């Protein structure tokens, strides 16, 4: 299985490099899989829906101000979607047009989407701190808030799920859960 380097930036100056398993890439999206260890778990209705060693399939779309992780618990059960509000992805390819790396810059705001379509905005306090401290300027603040509103509208209309299903179909994934079990 191929790997790809993810360069993950947190403003103002924190950077993390990691290798991820590359599941699929085209001009519109990069799909990777990894196990995560979040700084704090996400709990919904008394159940941990994102925690240590959970598996995520990341969908990072070219030109969009968000990325989406389909999250699976330790039993490979889908628990929901974790969405990062971020600057549009930067990508690099080699001479054969295969992806070398992709870079994202996190803008603090996140959205958790439950399987039933309900959602919860995450990390608004971190975003407000970054704005207050000047880490995020007025224009970037406006774009991040606009991206969050647009993402919520896509969730409510079903467009986000449709976008993800289009990628799954295009990539010819038969069952993401089974793919994760084999890869990790």
All domains in the chain, ordered by first residue: 3-173 (2.40.380.10)
Instruction: Read off the pLDDT of each residue in 36-65 and give the average, rounded to a whole number.
Output: 93
pLDDT in tens, 63-121: 999 999 999 999 999 999 999 999 999 987 666 666 678 999 999 999 999 999 999 99
pLDDT of residue 136: 97
Rama region for 117: left / alpha / beta (φ>0; ψ in -120 to 50; rest): left
Q: What pLDDT is stored for residue 2 in this prediction? A: 86
pLDDT score at 51: 94
105 vs 102: CA distance, rounded Å? 10
Local confidence band at 173 (pLDDT 50, 70, 90 cut-offs):
confident
φ/ψ (deg, to 5) at 115 = -55, -25
- Note the pLDDT of residue 175: 74
Element (H, E) at 107: strand 99-113
Share of the chain above pLDDT 90, in %: 74
């Amino acid at each position: 299985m191929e790997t790809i380097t993810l360069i993950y930036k947190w403003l103002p100056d924190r950077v993390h490099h990691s290798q991820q398993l590359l599941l699929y890439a085209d001009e519109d999206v990069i799909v990777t899989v990894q196990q995560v260890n979040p700084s704090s778990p996400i709990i919904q209705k008394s159940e941990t829906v994102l925690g240590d060693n959970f598996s995520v399939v990341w969908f990072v779309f070219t030109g969009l101000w968000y990325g989406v992780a389909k999250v699976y618990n330790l039993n490979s059960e889908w628990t929901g979607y974790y969405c990062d509000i971020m600057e549009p992805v930067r990508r690099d390819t080699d001479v054969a047009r295969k992806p070398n790396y992709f870079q994202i810059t996190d803008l603090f705001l996140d959205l958790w989407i439950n399987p039933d379509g309900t959602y919860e905005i995450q990390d608004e306090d971190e975003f407000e701190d970054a704005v207050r401290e000047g880490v995020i300027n007025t224009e970037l603040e406006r774009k991040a808030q606009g991206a969050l509103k647009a993402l919520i509208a896509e969730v409510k209309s079903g467009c986000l799920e449709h976008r993800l299903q289009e990628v799954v179909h295009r990539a010819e994934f038969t069952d993401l859960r089974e793919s994760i079990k084999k890869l990790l």
